[in-house]
């Protein structure tokens, strides 16, 4: 485990002193109106958690059968609302139909232009329409052989059908596993193998900056992939449902492949929501860890939905008339909890955008904000830093006065970016919610409640109701204020992961052994004198590149799977735009020469193995990697080298890192 810095690079004393009081006009109508009110509610939520959560679950969700027990906690396994039954799609759709929300926009969708000179497509689905589509697609899934408990892999672009597919799975009790469209065929195959999915839902292609991402072609390739013993990884797959999106030519395998539009045309719109056990799996979402293959994070039904709904309402101060836009892709947890489940459970209008922030031009986000009157924008620091770089002329072209709240997620936001977001986008009028959470936590854990909690640029501030985070030392003892430590969570909460798919041992080992009796987040943190949490970033071997979680071990094994590579070590270095960049140190097999094309060849290889998001930014070739006497790669040294001097243009020479290693730490 790496050393934890006592103070984070993301704050300095002068910025910490800057405290932004909640704007008075905002507090007047906010869900929680003052710091005192927050403190009172928070205290209630942690002194009698079961009472608190029972009250919320009763108020917020429609149950087909009441629960017998609020919480059953046998570390590390939590069961919430034991014995209760409900359906997530019913809670997101049906329950709004008898109300004034029936004809309200549930999803507003803006597509990516197919080319620079063509407008993106636009669609609006009301709650009634979305319900209709979800029911029909639920029947398509059943027709294709999926039933309660079966796993369904979703590999789609950011189109309404992605949300429809997720909700249809939930409706019939199937377990979805969404794979980000930027992941490779190999990643798709690995996830199919791990989850033993029966169906794949994909599209011919998706648009990205005027190009077509060949999703179906990747699925075809995935379905051919074999393990080392020569066995197909994807034997469990029975059918592939294909959405017509990009219109590109695809290979269609009769008998296995089904067209979405053909099947749905035949499907009835009568699809009863199946009452599910509160602890029935809702979805599996794969995320990088510090070792080996991605972990299948498991979320279940009742607790997850309650937590997603409640956090969405309080953190974004959701109001009936809001146009709420979370820019995350549905392939990440943020897309699950805050594009689909949280907003829809609240009856909100959720805007979905398919494409890039700078296509056709760098004002794409701001033109969308203006056109739809977006009130709430939730995006990532890496995007904000890119906007800063592109210049104020782009947002200045548009009327952003509809905005009333701004959110940030995915990585620490540096105070400069925070202030720019606040002033240039929010017009100094909109509170900023810097939300800390993880795939594992299901929903937001530490964040200001707008209107109630004063904000400090760079701090996620204070915990949500029912959450007991703490900063501890290696022995698990709380550290004094203003010293660095590990961030843990002391008590179970409804949105927490229920395990790693098929691997209870690894679940226990990764999250519950580092600090006895607590959930270990993998993040370093510091609490200031006011109790505000300042997240430093990962302290394990997981990197955060442009808000994407990438395990160094995964990239290393992708590199080593290339025929020319002997050994690889991947570390992060600070990057102005992406937060962190990936630097790979590679040794080559004997006889292999470094040629000018090799760097690119290896980068492409990683893209093929994992996906373009994992491509190393720099690859440096070395004679040997610096190692300790026990044979461990000296990552600390490599990190220093990686973030030190600029990489010279000439990468065709080999570095002798062993010499450096001896200089740096002769006795390590
Ligand atoms: C939602 C999400 C989780 C990791 C987490 C942190 C980092 C996320 C913040 C943050 C500082 C934030 N899920 N992280 N949000 N760090 N401030 N507001 O991102 O599973 O993909 O990543 O992201 O390191 O452990 S995730």
Q: Distance (Å, rounded) from C-alpha 328 to C-alpha 158?
A: 9
Ligand 1 in reach of 139 Cβ (< 6 A): no
Q: Are the C-beta atoms of 501 and 195 separated by less than 8 Å?
A: yes
**pLDDT higher than threshold 80 for residue 292:** no
Ligand 1 centroid distance, CA of 411 (Å): 5
Question: Do strands 199-203 and 295-300 pair parallel, antiparallel, or not at all (unpaired)?
Answer: unpaired
Helix 49-60 to helix 35-47 angle (10° resolution) is: 110
pLDDT at 640: 86
**pLDDT higher than threshold 70 for residue 662:** no
Which residue, judged by its Cα, is nearest atom 7 of ligand 1?
A: 411
Instruction: Tell me 365's DSSP state.
Output: H
By most ligand atoms within 8 Å of CB, the mutation choice from 10, 407, 436, 443 for ligand 1 is 436
- Can you tell me the mean pLDDT for 633-642? 85
**pLDDT higher than threshold 60 for residue 351:** yes
For 282, residues 6+ apart whose C-beta sits below 8 A from its C-beta are 88, 170, 175, 176, 276, 299, 300, 301, 304, 305
Q: Distance (Å, rounded) from C-alpha 446 to C-alpha 465?
A: 9
DSSP helix, strand, coil percent of the chain (3-state; round to 5): 35, 25, 45
Q: How confident is the model at residue 54 (pLDDT cuts 50, 70, 90)?
A: very high
Category of 655 on φ-ψ map: left (φ > 0), alpha (ψ -120 to 50) or beta: beta
Q: Distance (Å, rounded) from C-alpha 324 to C-alpha 567?
A: 47
Question: Do strands 122-126 and 199-203 pair parallel, antiparallel, or not at all (unpaired)?
Answer: unpaired
For the ranges 206-210, 462-466, 658-662, the lowest mean pLDDT is seen at 658-662
**pLDDT higher than threshold 60 for residue 667:** no
Q: How confident is the model at residue 634 (pLDDT cuts 50, 70, 90)?
A: confident
**pLDDT higher than threshold 80 for residue 118:** no
Q: Distance (Å, rounded) from C-alpha 138 to C-alpha 267?
A: 9
Burial of residue 221 (number of CB atoms within 10 Å: 0-12, 13-18, 19+): middle
In percent, the amount of the chain with pLDDT more than 70 equals: 94
The whole-model pTM stands at 0.92
Which residue, judged by its Cα, is nearest atom 13 of ligand 1?
A: 438
CB atoms within 10 A of CB 289: 22
- Can you tell me the mean pLDDT for 529-552? 91
Q: Which two tokens stand for residue 65?
A: 């059968």
For 631, residues 6+ apart whose C-beta sits below 8 A from its C-beta are none
- Can you tell me the mean pLDDT for 481-510? 97
Contacts of the segment 391-398: beta carbons below 8 A, 24+ positions apart: 391/362, 392/424, 394/361, 394/362, 394/363, 394/366, 395/363, 395/366, 395/424, 395/425, 397/363, 397/366, 397/367, 398/363, 398/366, 398/367, 398/369, 398/370
Which has the closest alpha carbon to 217: 193, 194, 249, 239? 249
Separation in Å, CA 640 to CA 572, 634, 668: 10, 10, 16
pLDDT at 176: 98
Ligand 1 in reach of 507 Cβ (< 6 A): no
Ligand 1 centroid distance, CA of 489 (Å): 15
In DSSP notation, 438-486 reads -GGGSS--B-PPTTTS-B-TT--BSBPTT--EEEE-TTSPBPPTT-EEE
- 3-state SS class at 511: helix
Q: Distance (Å, rounded) from C-alpha 432 to C-alpha 12?
A: 19
- Can you tell me the mean pLDDT for 438-442? 98
**pLDDT higher than threshold 90 for residue 665:** no
Ligand 1 centroid distance, CA of 532 (Å): 17
pLDDT at 655: 66
pLDDT at 195: 98
Q: Distance (Å, rounded) from C-alpha 325 to C-alpha 191?
A: 29
**pLDDT higher than threshold 60 for residue 300:** yes
Ligand 1 in reach of 526 Cβ (< 6 A): no
- Can you tell me the mean pLDDT for 178-197? 96
Instruction: Give the distance between the most distant pair of CA atoms in the chain.
Output: 73
- Chain length of the chain: 668
Helix 657-664 to helix 635-643 angle (10° resolution) is: 110
Place of tokens 């004809």: 103
pLDDT at 9: 39
- Ligand 1 atom closest to the Cα of residue 542 is 24
CA 562 to mean position of chain CA atoms: 29
- Give the model confidence (pLDDT) of 394-405 as tens digits: 999 999 999 999
By most ligand atoms within 8 Å of CB, the mutation choice from 287, 326, 333, 410 for ligand 1 is 410
- Ligand 1 atom closest to the Cα of residue 522 is 25
Ligand 1 centroid distance, CA of 631 (Å): 32
pLDDT at 277: 98
What does the angle CA 438 – CA 439 – CA 440 come to, to the nearest 5 degrees? 85
- Give the model confidence (pLDDT) of 241-284 as tens digits: 999 999 999 999 999 999 999 999 999 999 999 999 999 999 99
Question: Do strands 175-178 and 151-155 pair parallel, antiparallel, or not at all (unpaired)?
Answer: parallel
Q: Distance (Å, rounded) from C-alpha 398 to C-alpha 267?
A: 43
Separation in Å, CA 368 to CA 111, 122, 180: 11, 11, 23
Ligand 1 in reach of 364 Cβ (< 6 A): no
Ligand 1 in reach of 334 Cβ (< 6 A): yes
- Give the model confidence (pLDDT) of 374-426 as tens digits: 999 999 999 999 999 999 999 999 999 999 999 999 999 999 999 999 999 99
Give counts: helices (H), strands (E), the chain.
23, 30
Structural domains in the chain, CATH included, are 546-664 (3.30.300.30)
Q: How confident is the model at residue 456 (pLDDT cuts 50, 70, 90)?
A: very high
- Give the model confidence (pLDDT) of 469-483 as tens digits: 999 999 999 999 999
pLDDT at 5: 42
What's the chain's average pLDDT? Answer: 92
Q: Which two tokens stand for residue 512?
A: 């519950």
- Can you tell me the mean pLDDT for 149-156? 98
Which has the closest alpha carbon to 338: 262, 439, 418, 242? 439
Ligand 1 in reach of 434 Cβ (< 6 A): yes
Q: Are the C-beta atoms of 377 and 325 separated by less than 8 Å?
A: yes
Which residue, judged by its Cα, is nearest atom 17 of ligand 1?
A: 412
pLDDT at 180: 95
pLDDT at 661: 53
Q: Distance (Å, rounded) from C-alpha 591 to C-alpha 277?
A: 59
- Can you tell me the mean pLDDT for 279-291? 93
Which has the closest alpha carbon to 326: 378, 284, 256, 381? 378
pLDDT at 15: 53
- 3-state SS class at 644: coil
Q: Are the C-beta atoms of 589 and 566 separated by less than 8 Å?
A: yes
Q: Distance (Å, rounded) from C-alpha 341 to C-alpha 354?
A: 18
- Give the model confidence (pLDDT) of 160-172 as tens digits: 999 999 999 999 9
DSSP H helical ranges for 488-597: 504-512, 552-560
Q: Which two tokens stand for residue 662?
A: 């001896």
pLDDT at 658: 63
pLDDT at 6: 39
CB atoms within 10 A of CB 448: 25
Ligand 1 in reach of 608 Cβ (< 6 A): no
In percent, the amount of the chain with pLDDT more than 90 equals: 82
Q: Which two tokens stand for residue 57?
A: 């679950």
């Amino acid at each position: 485990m790496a050393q934890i810095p006592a103070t984070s690079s993301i704050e300095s004393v002068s910025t910490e002193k800057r405290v932004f009081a909640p704007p008075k006009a905002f507090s007047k109508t906010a869900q929680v109106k003052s710091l005192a009110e927050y403190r009172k509610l928070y205290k209630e939520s942690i002194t009698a958690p079961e009472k608190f959560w029972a009250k919320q679950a009763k108020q917020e969700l429609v149950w087909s059968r009441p629960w017998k027990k609020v919480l059953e906690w046998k570390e590390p396994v939590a069961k919430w609302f034991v014995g209760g039954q409900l359906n997530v799609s019913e809670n997101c759709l049906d329950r709004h139909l008898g109300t004034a929300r029936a004809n309200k926009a549930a999803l507003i969708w803006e597509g990516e232009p197919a080319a620079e000179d063509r407008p993106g497509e636009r669609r609006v689905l009301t709650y009634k329409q979305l319900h209709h589509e979800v029911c029909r697609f639920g029947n398509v899934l059943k027709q294709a052989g999926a039933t309660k408990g079966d796993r369904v892999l979703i590999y789609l672009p950011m189109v309404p059908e992605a949300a429809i597919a997720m909700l249809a799975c939930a409706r019939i009790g199937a377990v979805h596993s969404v794979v980000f469209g930027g992941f490779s065929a190999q990643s798709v195959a690995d996830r199919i193998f791990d989850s033993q999915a029966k169906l794949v839902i994909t599209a011919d292609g998706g648009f990205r900056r005027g190009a077509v991402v060949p999703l179906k072609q990747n699925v075809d390739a995935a379905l051919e992939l074999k393990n080392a013993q020569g066995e197909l990884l994807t034997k469990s797959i029975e059918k592939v449902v294909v959405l017509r999106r990009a219109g590109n030519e695809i290979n269609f395998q009769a008998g296995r492949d089904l067209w979405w539009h053909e099947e749905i045309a035949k499907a009835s719109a009568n699809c009863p929501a199946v009452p599910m056990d509160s602890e029935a799996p809702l979805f599996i979402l794969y995320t990088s860890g510090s070792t080996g293959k991605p972990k299948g994070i498991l979320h279940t039904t009742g607790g997850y939905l309650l937590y997603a709904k409640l956090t969405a309402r309080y953190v974004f101060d959701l109001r009936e008339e809001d146009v709420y836009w979370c820019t995350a892709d549905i392939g990440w947890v943020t897309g699950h909890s805050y594009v689909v489940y949280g907003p829809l459970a609240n009856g909100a209008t959720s805007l979905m955008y398919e494409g890039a922030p700078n296509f056709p031009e760098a004002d794409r986000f701001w033109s969308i904000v203006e056109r739809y009157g977006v009130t709430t924008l939730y995006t990532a620091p890496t995007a904000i830093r890119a906007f800063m770089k592109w210049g104020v002329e782009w947002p200045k072209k548009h009327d952003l006065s509809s905005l009333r709240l701004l959110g940030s997620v995915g990585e620490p936001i540096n105070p400069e970016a925070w202030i720019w977001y606040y002033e240039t986008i929010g017009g100094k009028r909109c509170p900023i919610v810097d939300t800390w959470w993880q795939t594992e936590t299901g929903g937001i854990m530490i964040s200001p409640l707008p209107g109630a909690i004063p904000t400090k640029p760079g701090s996620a501030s204070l915990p949500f109701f029912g959450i007991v985070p703490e900063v501890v030392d290696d022995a698990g003892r709380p550290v004094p204020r203003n010293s660095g430590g590990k961030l843990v969570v002391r008590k179970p909460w409804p949105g927490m992961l229920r395990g790693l798919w098929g691997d209870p041992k690894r679940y226990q080992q990764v999250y519950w052994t580092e600090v006895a009796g607590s959930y270990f987040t993998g993040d370093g943190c510091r609490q200031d004198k006011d109790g505000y949490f300042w997240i430093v970033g990962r302290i394990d071997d997981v990197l955060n590149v442009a808000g994407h979680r990438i395990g160094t071990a995964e990239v290393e094994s992708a590199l080593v799977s290339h025929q020319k590579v002997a050994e690889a070590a991947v570390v992060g270095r600070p990057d102005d735009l992406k937060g962190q960049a990936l630097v790979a140190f590679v040794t080559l097999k004997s006889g292999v020469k470094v040629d000018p094309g090799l760097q690119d060849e290896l980068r492409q290889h990683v893209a093929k193995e994992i996906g373009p998001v994992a491509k190393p930014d720099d690859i440096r070739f070395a004679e040997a990697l610096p190692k300790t006497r026990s044979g461990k790669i000296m990552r600390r040294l490599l990190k220093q080298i990686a973030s030190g001097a600029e990489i010279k243009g000439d990468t065709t020479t080999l570095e002798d890192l062993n010499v450096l290693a001896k200089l740096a730490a002769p006795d390590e």
